[in-house]
Amino acid sequence: MIRLYHYPLSVSSRFIRLILSECEMTAELVEERPWERREDFLIMNPATTLPVLIEDNGPPVVGAWPVSEYLDETRGFALEERRLLPPNADQRAEVRRLTEWFLVKFDAEVTDYLAEEKVIKRERAKFGGGGSPDSSLLRAARANIKPHLGYISHLMVERKWLAGDRITFADLAAAAALSVADFLGEVPWSDAGEVKDWYAKMKSRPSFRTLLADQVRGVRPPDHYGDPDF
């Protein structure tokens, strides 16, 4: 049995959920709000970061990279041609580079601002934190997402998928990041060009179904969010 501690607007959490689904694995999802600093979660992961995966009675596997590598090492070979990390070392390096781009750079410049200012600040207020949304940070996120969309478009010029000829962690990381921004209605799809076609292809995969069904208290995603053919 696998249990995954996650938060719906966490890019890293969504990334791992997609990997689990691509591996045809069903996990028990436990929604965790790190700002609540639950004692049981602090004991499990003193850093209070997400995601955290526990398999059977094993130790916690903490963080997007450790969890993704753990899943590849324990399930990757069984996927054969569908393995999400390619066999060649150079190809793996490119997948890891792009995966980090979306889990770290995109998140820091776009989704972290959006989720914090539009949703999490309101939730923090119940625990003595929070405050009003910072409009300057929202403007920064809206400006920052445009070069990221341009970079995805650039990658797709000569590639079938972001890191090459097959779907990899890189595609799942990018789709996880865009899905958070899209849930919050913050992706300028009219200017996205080829990125929209690639993302529609990602949304149509069975692994995306649970993400499209996500609900967050106090937030209604745009009507197109759950439509693979948007």
List, for residues 136-194, the tens digit of each pLDDT value: 999 999 999 999 999 999 999 989 999 999 999 999 999 999 999 999 999 999 989 89
On the question of pLDDT at 44 being above 90, the answer is yes
- Pair 15, 101: CB distance under 8 Å: no
Cα–Cα–Cα angle for 12, 13, 19, rounded to 5 degrees: 90
Structural domain contains residue 43: yes
In a domain, 227, yes or no: no
- As given in the structure block, the two tokens for residue 126 are 């119940």
Strands (E), the chain: 2-6, 28-31, 52-55, 61-62
Domain boundary at 44, 60, 82, which? 82
* Domain match, 146 and 96 both: yes
Statement: residue 57 has pLDDT above 80: yes
Does residue 225 lie in a domain region? no
67, 54 in Cβ contact below 8 A? no
Give the pLDDT of residue 210. Answer: 94
**Interacting residues of 99 by C-beta distance below 8 A, sequence separation 6+:** 15, 65, 68, 168, 169, 170, 172, 173
List Cβ neighbours of 126 (8 Å cut-off, separation of 6 or more): none
Its pTM stands at 0.96
Domain boundary among 34, 64, 82: 82
Number of domains in the chain: 2
Q: How many CB atoms lie within 10 A of CB 32?
A: 23
Q: Measured between alpha carbons, how far is 151 from 42 in angstroms, rounded to an integer?
A: 37
The answer to whether residue 67 sits within a structural domain is yes
Peptide bond into 51 cis (omega under 30): yes
Q: How far apart are CA 82 and CA 116, in angstroms?
A: 35
Expressed as residue numbers, the domain containing 143 is 89-205
